[in-house]
């Protein structure tokens, strides 16, 4: 495209606006000459529209006349009709806007100032950037106005601001396509890295060996949904897993707990690690031996890279901000959210709760891709499970409030404990189900689906591996270091993680030592 004309437009012509200035005399960002050059290039080069159609929309143009001309071009492009001076003029007539833009003479003037479409993409990006700047100015001006209004709650205003800013960024962020060669190189590097690991896994180890075999570890950019009915042990499972990963493998983990306070969560974690009943942890009624056990085993949590945020009613926009900071400052490798239905999308309007949950699940998947880490979100199941008389095993259709959860997730898992429903040590077939927890992988976008048996120890809110030896089920801890201290000494004294503290990120985003 030739350089845009230096001609100064007469803004008092029909269909054009005079420059507007703010209270400080500053003009809104725009470049009307570049806008005119883009429109002229689109009418002299038949393939130019395919280059800019993903970059520009009518409102990207500052001049109303330019907006209407581009609307005509967009209509022609959508119907795969030729785009030139004559067809655009005819389309403006059909739209009833030819006179509004200044007649056929105005359209002719647009093409007469351009001789080539060589730089149409570069110029269109200038137009798009100016539009984005205007949107941000308008957004900030509205926020400033509302901030002066004392009748508006500041927290509500903050949520609205986050929602609007997120909406603007989502509308304007585009990613270019990538040729396959560098992607193949990255894939080979990942395979080689997995081969070099002693575990043979390509993702993050959970400490649950059978689960890791099926998934090859939790994979970066995956959204993993773990769903169950209340009292099945969703929180207990992710706490057991977070303990395995943060303590045993030193993997930095962030837990966003919308349901429980950080103190409640850590108390359950202490019960899990120290193998002391939760009610004794809460009451403090411990025997001398139990106190020794508590003090010996709690050392294992010291220095663990585990971060907890207990903000109630967390919005998806707050999550994005905090998650980015956690990854940047603490190199977080995985995020756990307990649980999805308690989140909200404040600042945005929805016709139903289902639409809001759909938006939240979509945002979580986008966040997982952006940060390139796995995100695990717990989810409630509907009461359909309880209403079935014969089969209480959960299914994908039981996911509560939105089918979008199933669509957006890379992996959907269920936790099912037959013992809870049969109220017996055995099922109808006579199988021993004491402590049995079935971890059901119902959807796996890049792998197989399978049921993984685990051992659930309710008194300690703890999940463990379930090993089969000689046809007889036995319990096996994920790490031998969590066994009872022997008389020969304290097994935790040599822990490489001793010293330091479990870091807790409070509802205000501050870190306080446990």
Which residues are part of the catalytic machinery? 259
409 phi and psi, to 5 degrees?
-75, 145
412 CB-near residues (< 8 Å, 6+ apart): 224, 225, 227, 396, 399, 405, 406, 441, 442, 443
> For the chain, give me the number of helices (H) and strands (E)?
19, 12
397 DSSP assignment: G
The closest of 261, 256, 269, 378 to 308, measured between CA atoms, is 256
Provide φ and ψ at 52, rounded to 5°: -105, -5
Give me the DSSP letters along 157-214.
HHHHHHHHHHHHHHHH-------HHHHHHHHHHHHHHHHHSTT--SSB--S-HHHHHH
CA–CA separation, 130 and 29 (whole Å): 5
SS3 281: helix
Q: How far, in Å, CA of 71 to CA of 69, rounded?
A: 5
- Whether the bond between 124 and the residue before it is cis, its omega within 30 degrees of 0, is no
How far, in Å, CA of 144 to CA of 323, rounded?
26
Q: Could you give the CA distance from residue 135 to residue 169 in angstroms, rounded to a whole number? A: 10
Residue 323, phi then psi, degrees to nearest 5: -65, -45
Cβ–Cβ < 8 Å for 295, 269: no
């Amino acid at each position: 495209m030739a350089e845009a004309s230096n001609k100064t437009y007469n803004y008092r012509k029909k269909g054009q606006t005079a420059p507007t200035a703010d209270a400080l005399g500053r003009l809104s960002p725009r470049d009307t000459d570049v806008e005119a050059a883009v429109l002229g290039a689109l009418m002299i080069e038949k393939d130019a529209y395919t280059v800019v159609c993903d970059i520009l929309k009518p409102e990207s143009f500052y001049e109303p006349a330019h907006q209407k001309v581009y609307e005509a071009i967009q209509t022609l492009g959508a119907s795969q009709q030729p785009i030139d001076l004559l067809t655009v003029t005819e389309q403006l007539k059909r739209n009833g806007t030819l006179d509004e833009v200044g007649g056929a003479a105005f359209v002719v003037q647009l093409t007469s100032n351009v001789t080539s479409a060589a730089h149409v993409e570069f110029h269109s990006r200038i137009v798009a950037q100016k539009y984005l700047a205007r949107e941000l100015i308008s957004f900030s001006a509205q926020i400033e106005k509302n901030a002066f209004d004392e009748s508006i709650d500041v927290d509500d205003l903050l949520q609205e601001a986050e929602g609007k800013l997120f909406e603007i960024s989502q509308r304007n962020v585009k990613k270019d396509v990538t040729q396959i060669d560098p992607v193949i190189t990255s894939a080979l590097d990942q395979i080689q890295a997995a081969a070099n690991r002693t575990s043979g896994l390509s993702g993050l180890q959970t400490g649950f060996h059978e689960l890791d075999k099926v998934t090859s570890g939790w994979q970066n950019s995956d959204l993993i949904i773990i769903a169950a009915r209340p009292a099945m042990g969703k929180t207990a499972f992710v706490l057991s897993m977070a303990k395995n990963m943060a303590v045993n493998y030193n993997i930095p983990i962030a837990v966003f707990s919308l349901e429980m306070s950080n103190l409640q969560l850590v108390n359950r974690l202490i019960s899990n690690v120290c193998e002391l009943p939760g009610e004794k942890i809460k009451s403090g009624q411990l025997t001398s031996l139990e106190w020794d056990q508590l003090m010996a085993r709690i050392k294992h949590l010291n220095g663990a890279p585990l971060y907890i945020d207990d903000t109630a009613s967390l919005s998806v926009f707050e999550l994005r901000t905090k998650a980015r900071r956690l990854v940047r400052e603490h190199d977080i490798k995985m995020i756990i959210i307990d649980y999805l239905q308690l989140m909200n999308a404040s600042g945005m309007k929805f016709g139903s709760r289902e639409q809001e949950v759909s938006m939240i699940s979509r945002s979580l998947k986008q966040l997982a891709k952006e940060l390139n880490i796995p995100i695990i979100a717990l989810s409630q199941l509907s009461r359909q499970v309880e209403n079935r008389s014969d089969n209480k095993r959960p299914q994908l259709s039981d996911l509560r409030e939105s089918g979008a959860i199933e669509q957006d997730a890379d992996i959907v898992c269920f936790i099912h404990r037959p013992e809870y429903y049969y109220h017996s040590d055995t099922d109808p077939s006579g199988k021993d189900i004491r402590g049995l927890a079935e971890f059901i992988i119902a959807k796996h976008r890049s792998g197989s689906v399978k049921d993984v048996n685990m051992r659930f120890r309710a008194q300690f809110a703890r999940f463990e591996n379930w090993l089969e030896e000689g046809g007889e089920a036995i319990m096996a801890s994920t790490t031998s270091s969590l066994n009872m201290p022997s008389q020969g000494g304290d097994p935790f004294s040599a822990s490489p993680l001793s010293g330091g503290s479990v870091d807790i990120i409070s509802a205000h985003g501050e870190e306080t030592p446990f």
